[in-house]
């Protein structure tokens, strides 16, 4: 008989997402009827929100995530990416995402997290992103590892 493969799924709560993400603070946007929105100003390395996945290094995982994103300042591409072999984009990217409107981005990826350090992040293709403000809402992150 072969060895059984079990799966462990972790759904990150909003508080956990806030704790592991970086480069942001939380605000309310009453004009958009949104509260507890993540705000990022002048992100570095074209990464708006960055989740460290070191605890899953070397494991085969399925990562599911989504978020609403609003750019203020300039238009530009938005996409979820895995810091893994060839930095794969996940799901459908929003090319030349217009500023000042909300875009919903989601995706799923299954693979082995190799390299150092493994991470998943919302990428912002340059387009002057160093002078852009981003708002992120309704972030969901789920990681299923095969053990």
Kindly report the CATH number assigned to the domain that includes residue 40: 2.60.120.260
Residue 128 lies in a domain: yes
pLDDT at site 92: 81
Report the alpha-carbon distance of residue 6 to residue 52 in Å, rounded.
23
In a domain, 1, yes or no: no
117 Cβ neighbours under 8 A, 6+ residues apart: 52, 53, 54, 57, 83
The pLDDT score that the predictor gives to residue 129 is 55
pLDDT for res 21 = 67
Tell whether 13 is covered by a domain: yes
Q: Is residue 32 part of a domain?
A: yes
Q: Domain span at residue 17?
A: 7-146
Q: Number of folded domains in the chain? A: 1
User: Residue with structure tokens 């203020």?
Assistant: 72
**Residue 76 pLDDT:** 79
How high is the pLDDT of residue 131? 72
List of the chain residues with pLDDT < 70: 1-6, 20-23, 44-46, 125-130, 147
What phi, psi does 93 have (nearest 5°)? -80, 160
Tell me whether residue 73 is in a domain.
Answer: yes
How buried is residue 102: exposed, middle or buried, by Cβ count under 10 Å (0-12/13-18/19+)?
middle
Name, in order, each residue with C-beta under 8 angstroms of 16's C-beta and a sequence gap of 6 or more: none
Angle at 107 between CA 104 and CA 110, to 5 degrees: 170
Secondary structure of 22-73 in HEC code, one letter for each residue: CCCEEEEEHHHCEEEEEEEECCCCCEEEEEECHHHCCCEEEEEEEEEEEEEC
């Amino acid at each position: 008989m072969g060895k059984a493969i079990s799966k462990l799924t972790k759904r990150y709560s909003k508080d956990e997402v806030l704790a592991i993400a970086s480069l942001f603070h939380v605000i309310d946007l009453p004009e958009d009827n949104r509260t507890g929105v993540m705000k990022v100003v002048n992100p570095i390395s074209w990464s708006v929100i960055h989740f460290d996945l070191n605890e899953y290094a070397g494991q085969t995982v399925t990562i599911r995530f989504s978020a609403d994103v609003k750019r203020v300042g300039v238009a530009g591409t938005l996409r979820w990416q895995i810091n893994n072999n060839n930095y794969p984009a996940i799901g459908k990217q929003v090319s030349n995402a217009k500023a000042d409107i909300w875009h919903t981005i989601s995706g799923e990826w299954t693979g082995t997290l190799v390299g150092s350090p493994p991470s998943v992040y919302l990428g912002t293709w340059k387009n002057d992103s160093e002078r852009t403000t981003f708002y992120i809402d309704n972030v969901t992150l789920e990681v299923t590892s095969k053990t």
